Amino acid sequence: MATTDRQATTLALAHALSAAERGLAVIPLSRTKLPALRSPHRDHPDPAPCHGECGRFGHGVYDASADPARIRALFAAAPWATGYGIACGLPPHHLIGIDLDTKSGTDSSAALRELALRHLFTIPETVVVLTPSGGRHLWLSGPPDVVVPNSAGRLAPGIDIRGAGGYLVGPGSRTDHGVYGTAPGTAHLAPAVCPPALLRLLLPPPRPAQPTPSATGDRGQGLVQFVLAAHPGQRNTRLFWAACRAYENGIGPALVDPLVDAARNTGLSEHEARATIASAARMTGHHP
């Protein structure tokens, strides 16, 4: 490894540990801004979704930690890392990232100002990270009981949202395109509380309630509630377990949609939820 890369890794680790002191959970990133550690399940032909339950590194944002010993271990396992990612949606800040891009050919900053005028909110003074391409990341703090999903361009062209399950490239990270850094006068700030009017725009529209089919009975409702009670880090495991029990009890097909809705309410995407349920079906000898 070149000396410059070793220096970049040392600096990235120092910045990551500094972020952890502020309560931010971090992971090492490569120069491509992707997680530096590859999945330990990448060679499995049809692996069940794992978010770190196996105990090994390589699960992306699910490896994120604010524990200095774990952070050092992550970087020791990825000595080629030159940056770090900050996981969004986790306590204590429940970070929400507003990514104002410059590559789409639109003025994303102007689009955000227009949204603020139209919906009567003000962007508070907060941490601003400048990207090598000229974009900006605004750090906001969300409420602990609300799951903000990731999105790209849904709020407005050129505005991407980093929420639960996503991450922001941390200031001090070195990438193929340059170095990320905080805007002058914002490094000392804590992430400001997301304005309620903006928060409403970040959440997906509510889906019509779908009652659990009567054919599933109390057993099916109990499995749905089991999934709804999942906390970050156990959502996929609970969904997989509940889907297995549903298929074993002959109510799997009738419970697919209620389980998907329950999983989405905990922060999983519909695609991820259906993939997990399909894996449970195959595991129990059924065809999804």
Domain of 103, in residue numbers: 88-205
Residue 162: phi and psi, rounded to 5, are -110, 115
Of 54, 87, 120, the domain-final residue:
87
The H or E element that residue 92 is part of is none
Same domain, 46 and 61: yes
Write b or e for each residue in 67-103: b if 16 or more Cβ atoms lie within 10 A of its Cβ, otherwise e: eeebbeebbeebeebbbbbbbbbbeebbbbbbbbbee
pLDDT recorded at residue 36: 96
- The burial class, CB within 10 Å (0-12 / 13-18 / 19+), for 228 is middle
Same domain, 38 and 81: yes
Same domain, 177 and 105: yes
Question: pLDDT tens-digit profile of 236-276?
Answer: 888 988 998 888 888 989 899 999 999 888 888 888 899 88
Same domain, 69 and 124: no
Same domain, 99 and 201: yes
Smallest CA-to-CA distance from 174 within 213, 132, 146, 140 is with 132
Residue 67: phi and psi, rounded to 5, are -85, 120
Question: pLDDT tens-digit profile of 169-206?
Answer: 999 999 999 999 999 999 999 999 999 999 999 987 76
Same domain, 196 and 219: no
Of 155, 178, 205, the domain-final residue:
205
Of 157, 173, 205, the domain-final residue:
205
Evaluate whether residue 288 is within a structural domain: no
Same domain, 200 and 94: yes
Evaluate whether residue 182 is within a structural domain: yes
Write the CATH number for 126.
3.30.2250
Question: pLDDT tens-digit profile of 36-48?
Answer: 999 888 877 665 6
